Amino acid sequence: MSTLLIALLSGVGFVVAYHTYGRWLGSKIFRLSADAVCPSERLEDGVDYVPTSKSVVFGHHFTSIAGTGPIVGPAIAIMWGWVPALLWVVLGSIFIGAVHDFGALVVSLRNNGQTVGDIAGRVLNKRVRLLFLLVLFMALTVVLAIFGLVIAAVFKQYPAAIFPCMVQIPIAVAIGVLLHRKGVGLLAPSIIALGVMYLTVVFGDGGALGSFNSELAAWPIWQWVVVLLGYSYIASVLPVWTLLQPRDYINSLQLISALALIVLGLFTAALVGFTPSGADSSQALEFVAPAFQWHPEGAPMIFPFLFITIACGAISGFHCLVSSGTSSKQLRCETDARFVGYGSMLTEGFLATLVILACGAGLGLGLMKDGVLLTGETAWQAQYASWSAAGSLGAKVGAFVNGSANFLQALGLSAAVSVALMGVLVASFAGTTLDTACRLQRYVVQELATTLGGGPLAVLQNKHGATIFAVVIAAAMAAVPPGGAEWSIANAGKGGLILWPLFGATNQLLAGLSFLVITFYLWRRGRTIWVLVIPMVFMLIMPLWAMIHQLFVAPGWLVAEQPDYLLGGIGLATIALEAWMIVEAMKLFPRVKGVIEENALDRQPA
């Protein structure tokens, strides 16, 4: 019953936070106005700037920010105990992550839908703008290089997810045409699309479709990476209403309904128990993960690494790119920003909470290991014997899929359908993040090319040139074999793993720097900033602490027997970048209170 109570209290807490703290932020801090003209209407171009209903933008925003982050992060961080993981997810989402996403969205809305990096050039200075854009470029390159590998790995682990994920694309295009060109209402197409997608999960792995899934699951990693990056290019240059918006929207319907099924299954398992196939008796739903475990075998110390390991489920710097890169160009009413920015992050926080419950309690309902059914703490130990055993992508995804599939089976669904549905959930989140990241990288490349001038870089100011450049750079990184491995077809496509160890700290650092920009925007307008300064300081200190530990504490990148000078060099450059930006900010801070920046796009305080 404790598991059920935690799910209830967390859900209620998120709802209460949205209607209290979120409402206060919108009215008193950001001062949202229904009369403000949004960039989607003022700059409407039918490609990037498209006025869109808040429900559709919410679907795009939620599926783009979620990705696999709120799944793989909590699935490994639970090794420090489910209590620290849960507290960071709930409190971090409400007071840090949702404030960050909401603030980035509002500031972008007030600045013609520009990215936070671009806005930094006005509210701080031009040097900070360039530094910020370079950080964004590096982070997005890693995302593009690695997420093809992530999706391919999920497809290989759960082939039944392939056809349901692929069929979403033609369904999305049809929905986009019906809504944008035909003026059809949203309700009927939504219901039909949701029904079709669930049918593909239930019947999408039998007969010829099963053979189709198996053949594609056998593709080598490099082939998946090429196909997925090619798809990302197409999705990035097409008008948002054609593919990006409708795909993310129908994905959000499927994903949110799947979360609802997990909750119903959790209730059922908690109240009536669950008898796994092959077991003689019913299993009670209870936590099999430890409440606290300060020193798991092979794990880094809980402080600061808990706050780096669980990123997207509590706060993520990547979210500022979605808020200020795509969502701000689509909102048609400024007051919708609370629903999209603050509400989406709370929804992601609830997803991360369910991941903790699935891995910490659902896994104990039954786990097949080498043909043997394991239950209770035995099942937990089999999955989480050590940090290295639980740290692989397959193990982290598997812990969530197996645990949540047990919840679905408690509702009467078959094991095959339950596992397929959870596999589709993971792959769909990763897919929406991939195509959104490609579009965001296109914006960053265009902004950098414009900043650095014309000449040979002029071609990068064009959307096709910028997108091709982004895709080629990501493909080149993916083509390099991971550290120490030989050049071979088997290793091709895994190059993103080289820089992946940096991503946790740099991603969270990006959140701190995004807070810095939002804080300066409000400070220049004489607004209250403590609600931003406290999380900003926290999100600058924790990633810096983690980065220094990774660099200089054995077996750190620069002090190992065989130092990794690539990771070490980039890590040192990242620390220098953070220090430089903070110094620039501290010098400017005392002089700009109430002084609106030159060339501000909202000259009058909103």
121-152 tens-digit pLDDT? 889 988 888 878 888 888 888 888 888 888 98
Nearby residues of 85 by Cβ (< 8 Å), 6 or more positions away:
74, 77, 78, 306, 310, 356
Residue 269 lies in a domain: yes
pLDDT given for residue 484 in this prediction: 66
pLDDT given for residue 1 in this prediction: 60
Kindly report, residue by residue over 160-206, the tens digit of the pLDDT: 999 999 999 999 999 988 888 777 777 788 889 889 999 999 888 88
Q: How far apart are CA 178 and CA 503, in angstroms?
A: 39
CATH of the domain at 579: 1.20.1740.10
pLDDT given for residue 605 in this prediction: 42
CB 290 within 8 A of CB 24: no
- Is the pLDDT confidence value at 245 over 90? no
pLDDT given for residue 408 in this prediction: 95
Residue 166 lies in a domain: yes
Q: How far apart are CA 104 and CA 88, in angstroms?
A: 21
**Share above pLDDT 70 across residues of the chain, in percent, rounded to a whole number:** 99
* DSSP-derived 3-state class of residue 467: helix
Kindly report, residue by residue over 248-283, the tens digit of the pLDDT: 988 899 889 999 999 999 999 999 888 887 777 788
Distances (CA, A) of 418 to 206, 402, 424: 15, 9, 10
- Is the pLDDT confidence value at 20 over 80? yes
pLDDT given for residue 6 in this prediction: 94
The total number of structural domains in the chain stands at: 1
Average pLDDT over residues 347-352: 97
Integer Rg of the chain from CA: 23
pLDDT given for residue 380 in this prediction: 93
Residue 129: CA atoms inside 13 Å, Cβ hemisphere, count? 18
Residue 8 lies in a domain: yes
pLDDT band at 603 (very low <50, low <70, confident <90, very high): low
Task: Find, among 303, 288, 287, the residue nearest to 84 by Cα.
Answer: 303
Kindly report, residue by residue over 311-339, the tens digit of the pLDDT: 889 999 999 999 998 999 999 999 999 99
Q: What domain range is 245 assigned to?
A: 2-591
259-290 in b/e form (b: 16+ CB < 10 A) is bebbbebbbbbbeeebebeeeeeebebebbbb
Residue 606 lies in a domain: no
- Is the pLDDT confidence value at 606 over 50? no
Residue 605 lies in a domain: no
Question: Higher model confidence: residue 525 or residue 606?
Answer: 525
**What H or E segment, with its residue span, contains residue 374?**
strand 372-374
Residue 505 lies in a domain: yes
Q: Compute the mean pLDDT over every residue in the chain, rounded to the nearest whole number.
A: 90
CB 3 within 8 A of CB 357: yes
CB 556 within 8 A of CB 575: no
Q: Which residue type does 490 have?
A: A
Residue 365 lies in a domain: yes
- pTM (predicted TM-score): 0.93
Residue 426 lies in a domain: yes
- Is the pLDDT confidence value at 500 over 80? no
Residue 170: CA atoms inside 13 Å, Cβ hemisphere, count? 5
pLDDT given for residue 138 in this prediction: 81
Give the residue carrying structure tokens 């990242």: 574
* DSSP-derived 3-state class of residue 534: helix
